Amino acid sequence: MARSTIQYLRKRGLTQTAIAAQVGCERRTVARALAQPVDHRYRRRTPLSAWAGWEPAIAQWLDAELPAKRMLELARADATTPFTASAATWYRLVQRVQRARAASAPPVIRFEGLPGEFLQVDWGEAWVRLGVALVRRVFLAARLKYSRVIAVRWTTAMTLEPLLRGLLEIAAELGGVPWAWVFDNMKTVTLGRTADGTPRWNPVFARFATELGFHAELCDPYAPQQKGSVENLVKFVKTSFLPGRTFADDADLGQQSAEWTATKNHEPSQAHGQVPAALLAAERAAFGPLATTAATDGLYRVATVNRESLVRVDGNQYSVPTGHMGQALDVRLVATEVVLSRDGVELARHERCTGRGERRRDPAHYTEALRHRPRARLVLERDSLCALGPEVTAYITAICRRRRERMAAEIDALVALRATAGPAVLQTAVTRALARDAIGAEYLPLLARQEPELVLPQVPGQRIIDRDLATYEAFAHGRVA
């Protein structure tokens, strides 16, 4: 009867809003009734029990973390018994499986740690406004289970070295090393599990944990609630710290983050109603000592010496003395240096490369091997000089083009000046030489001096002198008419 009334009132010219007010229903209901015939019959929804055979497959797909939409695509593409009901029916079926799994899941048991016992660690990522640009940044979040003290470190990548150096900075901020550090199943910490569920630790991380003196623990797979305190911290950073804030650069981001965490550590925690900073003293008394820092700790690697007496580390190469080809060396990555050793004996120490594809070669490592190969020694010395900077490279280029017959003596002069006066003085000397077009070893001692230089008016440059001398020599030998 209501459908007939709606159709009748519409024929009389009433609007859908007026019809809805007169009949006593929603305007959308009126629109739907007008789009359907008067004698429209509802079809009963397909009962979920008719599709119960899909529940085991849905449970497997849930374990594999497939989204419900992808499950529906796989079910419709099944060759034997494809799913033919509506998408809404499928989603209701997935929800029923999820509710059944949740009902049979074991209860969540809350626990509190002892003072100094648990430090929970996790990664988070967010889009941050630096100046006018919106950039992606990641942050390392850590929280003490007993006191609920929080710490956050921002970086650009979730790789191994930012993780370990961030953990060292957090330990220094907390004032010691908690006993047990709880992690998710991140690849920088674990390489997976054995058949009996034992973690296979990342070797570099395992050595780090041993040297620092803490027990690493992993959450069970698909059980993030086991480190719920730090999970909540990751959400807290995204919802409380970031909204409404802009940052000049990464340094400003780190500074504001430190100020925010300090403020929150002096506010009562909802977990126990006490101030986390006030409970930190009890935690520190139970911490282990921190024997290193992020700036001084050497992250451990193992690398093999190649035929060029170079060791590849993180995409860059560093030289060691000859005689170790094919041998495995211990590598220690300090914040600014790379230390290479074998059997506890240090072989080389290099300034760390900042990019990728770079080389650090010390010519002294090849002295004995190149004693009877002067050309190879010359090229090696030249490469080491060019690594000092573009101005040295430009000067050596001029030497190679204009004094190639004296290139070995010229390179030796540059090496000697670097050894006696230092790289900075050498760079100053070649910069002055290029500015005055004074290319040659005889000018370097004068140009390396720091006192005010003598400027002689109307004295031609070295290029003009070389040109005139070449013309005169050609005329003297009868090559110019």
Q: What is the DSSP string of 319-374?
A: E--SS-TT-EEEEEE-SSEEEEEETTEEEEEEEPPSSSS-EE--GGGGTTTTTT-H
Residue 434, C-beta contacts closer than 8 angstroms, at least 6 positions apart? 391, 394, 395, 398
Question: Domain for residue 177, yes or no?
Answer: yes
- Do 254 and 354 share a domain, yes or no? no
CA atoms within 13 A on the CB side of 122: 22
Question: Domain for residue 110, yes or no?
Answer: no
Beta-strand pair 359-360/316-319: parallel
pTM of the complete model: 0.60
- Do 7 and 138 share a domain, yes or no? no
- Do 192 and 313 share a domain, yes or no? no
Compute how many other C-beta atoms are within 10 angstroms of the C-beta atom of residue 273: 7
- Do 125 and 227 share a domain, yes or no? yes
- Do 251 and 327 share a domain, yes or no? no
Of residues 81 and 475, the one with the higher pLDDT is: 81
Question: Domain for residue 77, yes or no?
Answer: yes
- Do 312 and 457 share a domain, yes or no? no
Q: What is the pLDDT of residue 419?
A: 85
Question: Domain for residue 260, yes or no?
Answer: yes
Which domain covers residue 19, as residue numbers? 2-34
Q: What is the pLDDT of residue 418?
A: 86
- Do 169 and 241 share a domain, yes or no? yes
Question: Domain for residue 41, yes or no?
Answer: no
- Do 274 and 180 share a domain, yes or no? yes
Q: Which of 81, 104, 127 is the last residue of a domain?
A: 104
- Do 20 and 57 share a domain, yes or no? no
Q: How many domains does the chain have?
A: 5
- Do 189 and 282 share a domain, yes or no? yes
Question: Domain for residue 293, yes or no?
Answer: no
- Do 388 and 353 share a domain, yes or no? no
- pLDDT-above-70 percentage for the chain: 88
- Do 172 and 207 share a domain, yes or no? yes
User: Which pLDDT tens digit goes with each residue over 221-268?
Assistant: 666 556 667 788 899 999 899 988 999 999 999 999 999 999 999 999
Question: Domain for residue 246, yes or no?
Answer: yes
Strand partners, 133: 130
H/E stretch holding 181: strand 180-183
Q: Has residue 468 got a pLDDT over 70?
A: no
Q: Has residue 142 got a pLDDT over 90?
A: yes
Q: Which of 344, 366, 388 is the last residue of a domain?
A: 366
Q: Which of 318, 346, 366 is the last residue of a domain?
A: 366
Q: What is the pLDDT of residue 256?
A: 95
Among 11-20, 42-51, 269-278, 449-458, which is the least confidently predicted range? 449-458
Token pair for residue 294? 């992020």
